[in-house]
Amino acid sequence: MAEIYTLKGLEDYAHESQMFLKLRTRLLEQVKAAGAESNSIIALHGTEPNIINDSDTEYELYYEAFSFNITGLKDLSCYIIIEIDSGQVHIFVPPFDDVIKAFLLPSTPEAINETYGYNAYYHNNLEQVLSKLNPNCIYLNKGTNTDSGVSTPCSYLNVPELNNYKKDEDLLYKIFAKARSVKLDEEIEIMKRIIKASSEAHIEVMKHCRPGLMEYSLAGVFRGYISTNYGLQYSFKPISASGKTAAVLHYPYMDKRIEDGTIMLCDMGAYGYGYCSDIACSFPANGRFTEKQANIYNIVLKANRAVIQTMRPGMDWTDMHLLAEKIIIEGLVDIGVLKGNVEEIQRKRIGAIFFPHGLGHFLGQDTHDVGGYICGHSRSTEPGIKCLRTRRNLEKNMIITVEPGCYFIDFAIEQGLANTDFQEYFGDKLSEYRDFGGVRIEDDVLVTENGGEILTDVPRTVAQIEALMAGQNWRSV
């Protein structure tokens, strides 16, 4: 495997390209342009270990995205001070005793300075450094994540040493979140490498799939591949759903045996050096699509490709969602699941019964990356549209997922059938698809001046998937 795709390769590239300096410089310029006071600082909390319940053991480590974004700091439990005028970075590491030194590899100021070139101290030097800097204002990173609803990011630094100075909790977050939604070229290069590794892993999943396996086995294939070959980990809890469970959008269990003749939906991504991928593949468990499976799959693929071919900088993401939804409705009318006028069906929001989630989300240092609703857009209250994670206009160098889906969700269909305004639009073929499950096709897409560039590299057509699962060269199909 090429060294540039390993964790070490990603780190070397980031530092050699001065990516974090460029990200930090961009943010500071935007903060100053927004009216930050002179002789002021940004204060952040770095990554903390994620402890399992009340124990002293930890979950896998994910870097705190805001602080990592502009420092590349991997070390834990640090305080970070950045001078807005000069760009100077000050890192404060926690103290440690001999027990910690024996069990772990604790950070020291000397090691921080040697590794990153930052000014470095212990926690107890924070008050002294602040006194020397005497900032006119301390800008803290506080704001609401529009996906999770959490209003205080992990990067919010709340220590008593800051209380003697003027603090601002309003300016920084929106600027920071918006900046993260538009990637530098260096970030794009790193994400391309993560997405490439994830694409390869999805191909391995399809190669290994067969009836009789457990759903969790395919998640294990994915993790084994990205860990063994690249040192990566899951970017989120994987979804490996078969048959009817593929209609559960974030199916949590993966405990069913895969049955012959069912559809698989595998939604999995990799995380490495602070960046994520997120790819969903749908395919037949036995390697051959049935007519019904091919029908639904091709409808969703058509929606996916239409959006990617249409999207450009300046386009409203809501319009892209509605484009995908319209194509799904048209397809369902064509096969007899729905009937009637497509525009009426869409206007009545019946399409959201089968495509209930948003078209996609920003991707970066979080799987559902920040910046979705920070530019004056508000969430819709209409079915389907209300689930969009952003309604912004697209900008060059955004990376966003395009993931239309079509699902046969029992309770949603029952609600639709019970609605007297909807009943005339359900076709005779609906009952034949009730046990189908669902299909989602998710690509990671870079917004360029010329349109959407697909970064995912997996078989997508019915013929390509069947060729791969038959042991043939899918790229020649």
Per CATH, the number for 13-181 is 3.40.350.10
pLDDT score at 4: 72
Sheet containing strand 263-268, strands side by side? 239-242, 263-268, 279-284
Given a contact cutoff of 8 angstroms between Cβ atoms, the answer to whether 253 and 273 are in contact is no
Residue range 187-196: mean pLDDT, rounded: 97
HEC letters along 436-476: CCEEECEEEEEEECCEEEECCCCCCCHHHHHHHHCCCCHHH
Q: How far apart are CA 344 and CA 346, in angstroms?
A: 5
Dmax (CA) for the chain in angstroms is 76
Could you tell me which of 246, 283, 262 has the C-alpha nearest to residue 464? 283
Task: Give the tens place of pLDDT for each residue, 270-327.
Answer: 999 999 999 999 999 999 999 999 999 999 999 999 999 999 999 999 999 999 999 9
**Residue environment code for 428-448, b if the CB has 16+ CB neighbours within 10 A, otherwise e:** eebeebeebbbbbbbbbbbbe
Tally of CB atoms within 10 A around 63: 20
Closest CA to 64 of 176, 155, 3: 155
Q: Which two structure tokens, joined as six digits, stand for 155?
A: 């990067």
φ/ψ region of 68 (left if φ > 0, alpha if ψ in -120 to 50, else beta) reads alpha
Residue 256 near residue 215, CB atoms below 8 Å: yes
Read off the pLDDT of residues 58-84 as tens digits, 9 standing for 90 and up: 999 999 999 999 999 999 999 999 999
pLDDT beyond 50 at 393:
yes
Q: Which residue has the tokens 């468990």?
A: 285
- Average pLDDT for residues 333-342, to the nearest whole number? 98
User: Phi-psi category of 465—alpha, beta or left, where left has phi over 0 and alpha has psi -120 to 50?
Assistant: alpha
Grade residue 101 by pLDDT with cuts at 50, 70 and 90.
confident
Residue type, 123: H
Which segments of 275-358 are extended strands (E)? 275-276, 279-284
Identity at 359, one-letter amino acid code: L
Q: Round to whole Å and give the CA distance between 106 and 76.
A: 9
- Contact in structure between 392 and 297 (CB atoms under 8 Å): no
**Alpha carbon distance, N-terminus to C-terminus of the chain:** 25
Average model confidence (pLDDT) across the chain? 96
pLDDT value of position 3: 67
The dihedral through the CA atoms of 392, 321, 389, 416 has a sign that is positive
List 233's β-bridge partners, or say none. 271
Q: Which residues make Cβ contacts (< 8 Å) with residue 416, sequence separation at least 6?
A: 350, 353, 422, 426
Query: According to the model, what pLDDT value does residue 95 have?
Result: 94
Per the CB < 8 A criterion, the answer to whether 160 and 123 are in contact is no
pLDDT tens digits along 246-269: 999 999 999 999 999 999 999 999
Residue 375 confidence (pLDDT): 77
At residue 359 the predicted structure's pLDDT band, cuts being 50, 70 and 90, is very high
Asked if 226 and 271 count as a contact pair (C-beta separation under 8 A), the reply is no
Please check whether residue 384 is in contact with residue 349, taking contact to mean a CB–CB distance below 8 angstroms.
yes
Residue 185 corresponds to which tokens in the numbers above?
């070229």
- The amino acid at 223: R
Q: Which residues of 192-303 form beta strands (DSSP E)?
A: 233-234, 239-242, 263-268, 270-272, 275-276, 279-284
CB atoms near residue 255 (< 10 Å):
10
- What is the dotted CATH code of the domain comprising 185-476? 3.90.230.10
- Asked whether the whole model's pTM tops 0.75, one would answer yes
- Any idea where the domains of the chain sit in the sequence? 13-181, 185-476
Going by C-beta distance under 8 Å and a sequence separation of 6 or more, which residues neighbour residue 105? none
3-state secondary structure of 272: strand
**pLDDT at residue 406 in the model:** 98
Per the CB < 8 A criterion, the answer to whether 223 and 269 are in contact is no
* 3-class state of residue 372 by DSSP: coil
- 399-402/443-448 β-pairing: antiparallel
**What does DSSP assign to residue 3?**
G
226 neighbors 232 (Cβ within 8 angstroms): yes
Q: Give the DSSP letter of residue 404.
A: -
The 10s digit of each residue's pLDDT in 445-477 is: 999 999 999 999 999 999 999 999 999 999 999
The residues, any chain, with a CB within 8 Å of residue 384's CB and separated by 6 or more, are 321, 325, 349, 351, 352, 355, 356, 357, 358
Report pLDDT digits (tens) over 365-379.
999 999 999 877 889
Give the span between the Cα atoms of 456 and 198, in whole angstroms: 8
